[in-house]
Amino acid sequence: MKATVLQSMNQQINAELYSSYLYLSMAAWANSKGYKGIANWLQIQSKEEYAHAMKFYAYVEERNHTPELFAIEKPESSWNGIVHMFEQVYAHEQKITALINNLYTLSLKEEEHATSSFLKWFIDEQVEEEATVCAIIDEIKLAGEVGPGMYMIDKELAQRVFVDPTTTAE
């Protein structure tokens, strides 16, 4: 693997670990506000992001390189409401999408075809991630952040269980 691609892969590992850390921070905040279902959804999201980081990590090792880990930035710890928090989730997912797209473009430029193929899974995953968060934001805006509608959304999000997306059939 060319040095430029390896460096970007290591940076992506860090970005995925930060995502996991950010969503865990959001889960803690949501739980402190009484949104147990939303906290559950975010904890599951944190686990997914960690799985993504480990998929990148394993790929780097598979290509006979040693992953390099960087310091993980401290995430925010409070938000101005549930909609604001999920809007931050959406913005963060868009940032991750851009990083993956840039990494894919770099892999094509550097003729790292195996890496390009590897990244296609993440490109598809990001479409799903962004769509899911948009749907949650739309539901919350429709229901309002307080009242029976929000109660039902919180209960719905409590039903989410962790299924490692990196090990399911592609």
Distance between CA 143 and CA 166 in Å, rounded?
A: 33
**168 φ, ψ (degrees, to nearest 5):** -80, 165
pLDDT 10s digits, 123-140: 999 999 999 999 999 999
- Which of the following CATH numbers is that of domain 3-70+79-161: 3.40.980.10, 3.40.50.150, 1.10.645.10, 1.20.1260.10? 1.20.1260.10
pLDDT 10s digits, 74-95: 999 999 999 999 999 999 999 9
Structure confidence at residue 96 (pLDDT): 98
Name the percent of the chain lying above pLDDT 90.
94
Domain spans of the chain?
Answer: 3-70+79-161
Where do we find the tokens 């959001």?
A: 26
